Structure 1
Amino acid sequence: MAATNKILIIVTNVGEYEKVGLRTGLWLGELTHFWDVAEQAGLSMDIASPLGGKIPLDPESLSHEVLAELGTEQRYRDRRFMDLLEDTKKIAEVTLDDYDAIYLTGGHGVMFDFPQSQDLEELMARFYESDKIVSTVCHGGTGLLQVRLSNGEPLVRGKRVTGFSWPEEELADRADAVPYNLQEELEKLGADYSTTGKPFEPYVVEDGRLITGQNPGSARGVAQAVVKQLTAVG
């Protein structure tokens, strides 16, 4: 794998649930925590989304308590950083050779547009089959559900993965709002899904070039795992 020292980050365009009136969008910390680790390691990043343009933010990720975690508020106050979410590029405009890794952020919005994006599915498969790193955190794992490799097999079949668990969904009071159970859908595809013993504790699973994190608190750990692999090959 040719080293570009560059990571492509994918975020959602969806700002509300389909069945209820709650608002959603990108869980900001899942972007900032990853960004902090990768930037400190000297890596550069671009942000893309299925439709491009401005990105909605999950209002719960902007609460004072959540923003105080791991320096998220510092990024939220940074005009230059936040402007990166004002006009993201479309996934269809991405050039594979420009990046060494792809990272899918979460927030409940991704449950609606990630699995519906053929551009994302094809890009994820191409990343993986080009020996590049594929990583997700929390609901970002929904971006794995429709990905098929060139042999027709689901990317996650037989792979060790994690993602936002159903118990966490219930504790977050979103079980009636989400369109499906991510944990169950991964298991249906033949993934070897696992979870941490205590909800919302950081948990990261590595299966070769596939790196997944369970919940928002796992974004930093996913970034550390991605950086470690990139450093090893770079």
Structure 2
Amino acid sequence: MVKKVLIVNTSTDHFADSDVPTGLWLGELVHFYDLMHQNHVQIDIVNTKGGLTPIDPVSTSRFMLDKLTKKYLNDDTFMTLLKNSPSIKEITPTDYNAVYFTGGHGVMYDFPGNPDIQRVISAVRENGGVVSAVCHGICAFLNFKGLDGRYYVDGKRLTGFSNLEEKLANRKKLVPFMLEDKLKEEGADYSRAFLPFRPYVVEDGHLVTGQNPQSPKGVAEKVLYLLNVK
């Protein structure tokens, strides 16, 4: 049976209270998507509001743009998927074997506490599926409590964009919170790579998280393994 994966992107295009643009970090989508596509996994791409998915311009700058991401950036068919995406509100979560939340700083505004995101996570897990995220995409798990009153991340082993990386990215004064700190506040068993901006992936049962923009391929590999895709 062909496996089906949902990818969720941000709809936020700037940092709040500023005119500094942000959005999806394109490589975090591309490197996950490409490996799923190579393995014949069916993929649907949505964002939080529907319509245009904004792309962080830094992620497509010549200093950040890797060969694979550039290939997809120049692929009109693929980019059309991001110019007119369905909203997560429109999907039926039980259709999917896994969900993947991309990063980029935009997600810090429309992922935490999002009821549609929480509906998808709950449904995928109830069906024995895989929940995954990379970098700031881990914000999807914030402000999310179960029926027992515990935070979703409480006691879970995971990673996400670190405080040090936020400082090195010169975004500390712009972000609404520090992701590493927030995860720890909600009880997560957080860990990170010894050096910043190195691939780092944590698997805890059917939860897979990657630390930074260097980690989406590693997340994809773990998700494929858990989906038993050969």
Same fold (TM over 0.5): yes
> Structure 1 stretch 174-183 or stretch 41-50: which is displaced more?
41-50
- 8 Å contact from structure 1 (residues 4, 100) kept in 2: no
> Which residue of the partner structure matches residue 19 of structure 1?
17
For residues 23 and 114 of structure 2, what CA distance do their matches in structure 1 show? 16
| 1:24 counterpart letter in structure 2 | T
From 90, 94, 100, the equivalent of 1:103 is 100
Distance of 1:200 and 1:158 partners within structure 2:
25
CA distance in structure 1 between the aligned counterparts of 2:67 and 2:150, rounded to whole angstroms: 38
CA contact (8 A) 1:201 1:215 kept: yes
State the distance in 2 between where 1:52 and 1:116 align. Answer: 18
Residue ranges of structure 1 left out of the alignment (5+ in a row): none
Identity %: 44
What is the CA distance between 1:116 and its match in structure 2?
4.3
Structure having the higher helix fraction is: 1
Distance in 2 between residues matched to 1:227 and 1:77, nearest whole Å: 26
Q: Is the 8 A contact 1:146 1:154 kept in 2?
A: yes
Shift of 1:82: 0.4
Match of 2:214 among 211, 217, 222: 217
* TM-score, normalised with respect to structure 2: 0.96
Secondary structure, counterpart of 1:206 in structure 2: strand
1:121–1:146 Cα contact (<8 Å) kept: no
Number of aligned positions between the proteins: 230
Q: Separation in 2 of the partners of 1:141 and 1:81?
A: 24
Name segments (4+ residues, structure 1) moved above 3 Å: none
1:155 shift after superposition = 1.8
Q: Is the contact made by 1:33 and 1:70 (CA closer than 8 Å) also made in structure 2?
A: no
Note if contact 2:94-2:123 (Cα within 8 Å) is conserved in structure 1: no
Give the distance between the partners of 2:51 and 2:113, measured in 1 at CA. 17
The aligned residue for residue 89 of structure 1 is 86
User: How far is the alpha carbon of 1:19 from its aligned partner?
Assistant: 3.0
Kept after mapping to 2: 8 A contact 1:23/1:58:
yes
Correspondence 1:52 to 2:50: yes
CA distance in 1, matches of 2:179, 2:159: 10
* TM-superposition CA deviations, 1:34-56 (whole Å, max 9, x none): 01111111112111111111111
- Residues 6 and 46 in structure 2, CA contact (< 8 A), matched pair in contact too: yes
Question: For the aligned residues, what is the CA RMSD?
Answer: 1.4
Residues of 1 paired with 2:39 and 2:130: CA distance? 16
What are the residue-to-residue correspondences of 1:99-138 with 2, within 5 Å?
Answer: 99-138=96-135
Deviation at 1:70, TM superposition (A): 4.8
Cα distance in 1, alignment partners of residues 147 and 89 from structure 2: 19
1:201 and 2:205 correspond = no
Residues 149, 116 of structure 1: alpha-carbon distance in 2 compared, 3 angstrom cutoff: closer
Query: Contact (CA 8 Å) 2:113, 2:144: kept in 1 or not?
Result: no
Amino acid paired to 1:90: S
> Any gaps of 5 or more consecutive residues in structure 2?
none
Report how far residue 4 of structure 1 moved. Answer: 4.7
Residue 170 (structure 2) pairs with residue 173 (structure 1): yes
C-alpha separation in 2, matches of 1:146 and 1:124: 13
Q: Structure 2: how far apart are the matches of 1:127 and 1:152? A: 20
With the length of structure 1 as denominator, give the TM-score of the two structures.
Answer: 0.94
